[in-house]
């Protein structure tokens, strides 16, 4: 790794410390995430406006996590073996296919394909990106955490515009036009990626052949990795629940698609804002302390949401949720890299994706069913209780028991 890039990191972020390829990676990740965040809102509202129940919409949201649950570990091994660029290009092509299907053949079955392809494509792209960033940052924990934050900031920017763009397009052009525009966006990223190298200094290809144990055996033996993965999964439950429950309750209250999109975008604004101040946070707050605080605040915000009938108040709570969740995620990824065996970062991140997407597959269905049967208070209350449990688990990482 070049001295210009790695150097000695003193807690601040300087753009000059990052190689030019990182900006290309951030830009293409932004285009992918615009289509993912906008596509989820579009698919969910499509089935709700067509008269299907919140439970069916929850199943549709869960389908975004089905294929990542089944093959993320294999994708991680593939990244370790062949490198990031082939995986990223294939992931973009899958995203493009999924968005074109409802343009050519609109209907409930088409948005099911969109959900399956969207989940697989975006998850595979970001899995490869996280492996690349972890390798390029070397052994510098502060630099690694901040680089994760900056790459994820591109997702925050796109998540601000994705739902708002989708809602506006739905209100003014309909669902078919919305899917076509999202397909054009991810297609432009695929074309641009053919001309921009995405490899970074420090990238390695090929897993360590001297590690015979399976990742599942390592997981049983590595208690720190177990804790990080469990907290990561519960943090993802809150994210997935927000992405489903807010459009559902907004539809119940008669909000327009534009209003729902703006509430969703407020979450992304919060995630973007925290990543702007992340270098300061990493200097003053430990990784586990940041995660614990974020989960506790999330629990309070979810508990208050059913009482917040005024859209601007919903936007405020969404901003708070985005700020806390967006601050916790880079810390979780850094903790996972710390606990992963050398040379097996792809597998470790693939395992995280498998577990997180399993919760993404089940939690929208569970919370959607709870909301349909027992109402919004019970749906949001169940998420709040889950966040409290996750905070208690994270406290054990911050203050591990004496051996």
Q: Among candidates 38, 6, 307, which has minimal Cα distance to 147?
A: 6
Domain that holds residue 384: 20-202+213-398
End-to-end Cα spacing for the chain: 37
Q: Is residue 132 part of a domain?
A: yes
In the block, tokens 């994270």 appear at 394
Average pLDDT, the chain: 79
Phi, psi dihedral angles at 201 (to 5 degrees) = -55, 135
> Measured between alpha carbons, how far is 202 from 83 in angstroms, rounded to an integer?
12
Q: Is residue 289 part of a domain?
A: yes
The first and second tokens of residue 141, run together, are 């924990």
Q: What is the dihedral of CA 90, 94, 97, 101, to 10 degrees?
A: 170
> Measured between alpha carbons, how far is 287 from 285 in angstroms, rounded to an integer?
7
- Name the residue with higher pLDDT: 196 or 262: 262
Chain segment 198-210, per-residue pLDDT in tens:
555 555 555 444 4
pLDDT at 14: 47
Query: pLDDT band for position 336 (50/70/90)?
Result: confident
The first and second tokens of residue 350, run together, are 């693939």
Query: pLDDT band for position 138 (50/70/90)?
Result: low
**Number of structural domains the chain divides into:** 1
Q: Is residue 11 part of a domain?
A: no
Indicate which CATH number applies to the domain containing 380.
1.20.1250.20
Chain segment 111-128, per-residue pLDDT in tens:
999 999 998 999 899 888
Range of lowest pLDDT (36-40, 111-115, 138-142): 138-142
What does the pLDDT average to over 301-316?
A: 88
> Measured between alpha carbons, how far is 114 from 123 in angstroms, rounded to an integer?
14
Q: Is residue 12 part of a domain?
A: no
What does the pLDDT average to over 16-39?
A: 78
- How far, CA to CA in Å, does 355 sit from each of 21, 67, 263, 371? 30, 12, 27, 24
What does the pLDDT average to over 41-46?
A: 88
> Measured between alpha carbons, how far is 314 from 332 in angstroms, rounded to an integer?
27
Q: Is residue 310 part of a domain?
A: yes
Q: Is residue 194 part of a domain?
A: yes
Q: Among candidates 244, 91, 85, 93, which has minimal Cα distance to 183?
A: 93
pLDDT tops 70 at residue 11: no
> Measured between alpha carbons, how far is 188 from 232 in angstroms, rounded to an integer?
32
Q: What angle do CA 72, 386, 319 make, to 5 degrees?
A: 85
Q: Is residue 339 part of a domain?
A: yes
What does the pLDDT average to over 357-372?
A: 75
What does the pLDDT average to over 240-255?
A: 82
Query: pLDDT band for position 17 (50/70/90)?
Result: low
> Measured between alpha carbons, how far is 166 from 43 in angstroms, rounded to an integer?
10
Q: Is residue 13 part of a domain?
A: no
pLDDT tops 50 at residue 345: yes
């Amino acid at each position: 790794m070049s001295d210009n890039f790695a150097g000695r990191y003193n807690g601040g972020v300087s753009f000059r410390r990052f190689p030019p390829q990182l900006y290309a990676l951030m830009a293409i990740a932004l285009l992918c995430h615009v289509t993912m965040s906008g596509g989820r809102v579009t698919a969910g509202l499509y089935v709700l406006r067509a008269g299907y129940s919140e439970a069916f919409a929850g199943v549709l949201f869960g389908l975004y996590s089905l294929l990542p649950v089944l093959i993320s570990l294999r994708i991680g091994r593939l990244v370790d073996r062949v490198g990031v660029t082939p995986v990223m290009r294939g992931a973009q092509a899958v995203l493009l296919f999924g968005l074109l299907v409802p343009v050519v053949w609109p209907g409930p079955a088409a948005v099911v394909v969109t959900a399956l392809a969207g989940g697989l494509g975006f998850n595979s792209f970001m899995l490869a990106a996280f492996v690349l960033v972890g390798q390029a940052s070397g052994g510098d924990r502060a630099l690694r955490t901040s680089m994760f934050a900056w790459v994820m900031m591109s997702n925050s920017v796109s998540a601000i515009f994705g739902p708002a763009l989708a809602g506006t397009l739905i209100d003014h052009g309909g669902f078919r036009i919305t899917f076509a525009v999202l397909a054009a966006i991810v297609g432009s990223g695929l074309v641009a990626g053919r001309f921009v190298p995405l490899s970074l200094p420090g990238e390695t290809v090929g897993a360590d052949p001297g590690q015979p144990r399976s990742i599942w055996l390592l997981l049983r033996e590595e208690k720190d990795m177990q804790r990080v993965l469990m907290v990561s999964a519960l943090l993802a439950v809150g994210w997935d629940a927000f992405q489903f429950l807010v459009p559902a309750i907004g539809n119940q209250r008669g909000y327009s698609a534009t209003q729902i999109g703006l509430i969703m975008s407020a979450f992304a604004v919060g995630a973007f804002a925290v990543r702007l101040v992340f270098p300061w946070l990493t200097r003053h707050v430990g990784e586990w302390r940041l995660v614990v605080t974020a989960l506790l605040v999330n629990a309070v915000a979810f508990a208050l949401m059913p009482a917040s009938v005024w859209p601007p108040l919903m936007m405020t709570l969404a901003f708070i949720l985005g700020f806390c969740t967006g601050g916790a995620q880079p810390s979780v990824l850094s903790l996972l890299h710390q606990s992963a065996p050398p040379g097996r970062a792809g597998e470790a991140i693939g395992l995280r994706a498998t577990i997180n997407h399993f919760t993404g597959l089940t939690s929208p269905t569970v919370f959607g069913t709870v909301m349909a049967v027992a109402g919004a208070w019970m749906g949001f209350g169940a998420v709040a209780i889950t966040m409290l449990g996750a905070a208690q688990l994270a406290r054990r990482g911050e203050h591990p028991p004496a051996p």
